[in-house]
């Protein structure tokens, strides 16, 4: 279980997360939605330890990871996590096969003789075959995204944090990634946090959805609650309307009555 309590994170004067509390139970899928620049990636980077929160607790398997100072203990805990970077973040100097096997080498004790089989299996899961010797620069954008996902899946993590898993994919591939997320949940009891702008994905895979706006959660509920809520901010976002309480300003997002945003 991941339990985040009162998480705050600023970048100098930019107060991005103002006290976010949310939890995701084991074997469940939580999606996080919200406009660009509202702190979704910042939130999961805090969970994975790429960013240090200013305050708050991040409890994973009964341990507050913000309080762990022992590097070895932190590293062991992080081995349970897979993180799909928003940008994919493949290593350009490595082949596809080496990229996918990367986590096997550093995060698991899987013997090297098994890498080839596992790499092919994980690539097949994301609909790719026979591209192990290609370089990332030879792939299309959507293929890169799927190779990144195969790399995340290879060490069989207990928790997976997906940052925009379907961005850059065609609708059919996006749908199959949704089924993959559900399959991992059903067959392997994987716990997931999915950041997405893709509402059809959020509705399909989520046990709960949370919407971030102005550094706080505006709604945390089931897909059904999101479909039926009358909350004006949620409706504007989910229905994709330019007009509404969320104002797009050049520096980010501003909501009426909140000058701190
Ligand atoms: N390392 C950093 N240093 C300074 N500011 C940062 C850093 N990372 C993020 N920010 C700022 O924090 C805010 C939130 O960024 P974040 O990447 O979390 O947004 P997001 O919700 O993931 O947006 P998108 O949907 O566009 O990916 C932005 O104003 C961004 O400029
Ligand atoms: Mg982001």
Q: CA 45 to CA 30: how far, in whole Å?
A: 16
What pLDDT is stored for residue 254 in this prediction?
Answer: 52
pTM of the entire predicted model: 0.90
**Tokens (6 digits) for 239:** 């229905």
The kind and range of the H/E element at 172 are: helix 171-188
Tell me, using a 6 A CB cutoff, whether residue 10 lines ligand 1: no
Span from the CA of 16 to the centroid of ligand 1 (angstroms): 8
Residue whose CA lies nearest to ligand 1 atom number 18: 39
Both tokens of 182, joined, read 């559900």
Q: In this structure, which residues have their CB less than 5 angstroms from ion ligand 2?
A: 41, 86
User: How do the pLDDT tens digits run along the chain, 261 residues long?
Assistant: 999 999 999 999 899 999 999 999 999 999 999 998 899 999 999 998 889 999 999 999 889 999 888 888 888 888 899 999 887 789 999 999 999 999 998 888 899 999 999 999 999 988 899 999 999 999 988 889 899 999 999 999 999 999 999 988 889 988 989 998 998 899 889 999 999 999 999 999 999 999 999 899 999 999 999 999 999 999 999 999 988 998 876 655 455 555 444
30: three-class secondary structure by DSSP: strand
**Residue to mutate, 8, 16, 212, ligand 1, most ligand atoms under 8 Å from C-beta:** 16
> Is the minimum distance from the CB of 40 to ligand 1 under 6 angstroms?
yes
Q: Dmax over Cα atoms in the chain, in whole Å?
A: 61
Partners of residue 160 on adjacent β-strands: 82, 192
Q: Which residue's CA lies nearest to atom 31 of ligand 1?
A: 37
The ligand minimizing its distance to the Cα of 43 is 1
């Amino acid at each position: 279980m991941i339990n985040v309590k009162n998480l705050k994170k600023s970048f100098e004067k930019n107060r991005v997360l103002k006290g976010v509390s949310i939890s995701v139970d084991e074997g469940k899928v939580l999606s996080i939605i919200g406009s660009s620049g509202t702190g979704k990636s910042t939130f999961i980077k805090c969970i994975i330890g790429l960013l240090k929160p200013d305050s708050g607790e991040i409890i994973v398997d009964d341990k507050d990871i913000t309080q762990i100072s022992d590097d070895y203990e932190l590293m062991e805990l992080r081995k349970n996590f897979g993180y799909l970077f928003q940008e994919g973040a493949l290593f350009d100097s490595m082949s596809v096969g080496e990229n996918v096997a990367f986590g096997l080498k550093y995060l698991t004790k899987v013997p090297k003789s098994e890498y080839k089989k596992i790499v092919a299996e994980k690539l097949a899961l994301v609909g790719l075959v026979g591209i192990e010797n290609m370089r990332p620069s030879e792939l299309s954008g959507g293929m890169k995204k799927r190779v990144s996902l195969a790399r995340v899946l290879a060490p069989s993590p207990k928790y997976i944090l997906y940052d925009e898993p379907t961005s850059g994919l065609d609708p059919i591939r996006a749908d199959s990634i949704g089924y993959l997320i559900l399959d991992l949940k059903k067959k392997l009891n994987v716990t997931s946090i999915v950041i997405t702008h893709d509402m059809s994905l959020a509705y399909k895979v989520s046990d709960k959805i949370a919407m971030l706006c102005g550094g706080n959660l505006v709604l945390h509920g089931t897909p059904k609650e999101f479909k039926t809520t009358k909350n004006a901010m949620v409706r504007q976002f989910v229905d994709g309307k330019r007009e509404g309480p969320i104002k797009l300003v050049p520096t980010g997002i501003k909501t009426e009555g909140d000058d701190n945003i």
